[in-house]
Amino acid sequence: MLSPLGRPFRTPPAIALWLAAGLARAASPATETGVREFLAQRYPVARAALESAVRQDPSDARAAAFLGRVFFEENESDRAVRWLERAAVLDPKSSAHPYWLGRALAQQAIRSSLFVRATLAGRIRRAFQRSVDLDPANLDARIGLVEFYLRAPVFMGGSIVRAKSEAEEVRRRDPLRGHRAMARVYEQQKLWDLASAEYRRAIAEFPSNREPYVWMERGAIERNDWESAFASMDRLSQAFPSDALPLYEIGHIAALSGRQLERGEDSLRRYLAGRPPADPEPSVALAHAQLARIAEKRGDREAARREAAEALRLDPGLLDAREAAARLR
């Protein structure tokens, strides 16, 4: 799934600290199995293990939190919210739990009516703010606030001024991610030149990091600038020749845009032929879901059904695959 500012490509610092802290208590074998399977993106297996863990120990906050994250990945936002709320109650000092609760509430809002979104807006903001209050260095939560202030209408609490203030704080604490946060503010204002300048500076200042290229791609996709989206992945491939991510992303852009379909399919096949992706890289199931979309755009419904079925076999909760399968019946 996407982070508030695009797909994350590393374990967020707050989550890494939380995982390390979890070693201090004797977690059940079922919890450890569930976490391991979650990180390997085997969500159905992870769900079964974590459901067993919370039955064995209803006070296991770590199991509850990861079960909520499984449901988040499977687009079961109502269930994700319930489990992440439970985790936050069981472990009220954790900054990670309200952060993921905010993510799940935002996922819930995206699929809701305007009235329901209005009722959820305050809860989303409070969840991210609670995370920041517990750990001011939790930049994932701060970026969650940036996105909330940018995306929410004014009457729901949205504010460009507050978004920019939060982005400046992110920049103060982490210059790389500050470039992304500030670029998002500019993108929301349709100041494309300023946003592009932030990305270019990020690439120049952090040449060993691939994320700025992906951020450029995300911005281009958001404004349907498909040529720029492909170009950003070409630049990423040139800068990191052994990186498989551009292969997936080229396929993803082709699937979204309907352009360069042959190249997109070939890139996804090469992605699948490489080493198995590990969290947080796009999963094998996601790659098959993109192949299904490409086949559908090419008019090959039988191939599209096969790819969607394979994606669902690997990840029954994958929304893209579920929607594709429904269209192709």
Q: For the chain, what are the domain ranges?
A: 244-329
Q: How remote is the C-alpha of 172 from its chain's centroid?
A: 24
Task: Return the DSSP state at 4.
Answer: B
pLDDT digits (tens, 9 = 90+) for 266-308: 999 999 999 888 767 899 999 999 999 999 999 999 999 999 9
pTM of structure = 0.81
Residue 80 has pLDDT above 50, yes or no: yes
- CA within 13 Å, CB half, 249: 29
Of 18-32, 41-55, 97-111, 171-185, the one with minimum mean pLDDT is 18-32
- CATH architecture observed for domain 244-329: Alpha Horseshoe (1.25)
Find all residues with CB under 8 Å of 296, minimum gap 6, and list them: 304, 324, 327, 328
Q: How confident is residue 40, by pLDDT bands cut at 50, 70 and 90? A: confident
- Which pair of tokens denotes residue 218? 């995300």
Q: Do 117 and 109 contact (CB within 8 A), yes or no?
A: yes
Residue 310 has pLDDT above 60, yes or no: yes
- CA within 13 Å, CB half, 80: 23
- Which pair of tokens denotes residue 13? 């610092």
DSSP annotation string for 176-227: HHHHHHHHHHHHHTT-HHHHHHHHHHHHHH-TT--HHHHHHHHHHHHTT-HH
Q: What sign has the CA pseudo-torsion 118, 90, 135, 210? A: negative
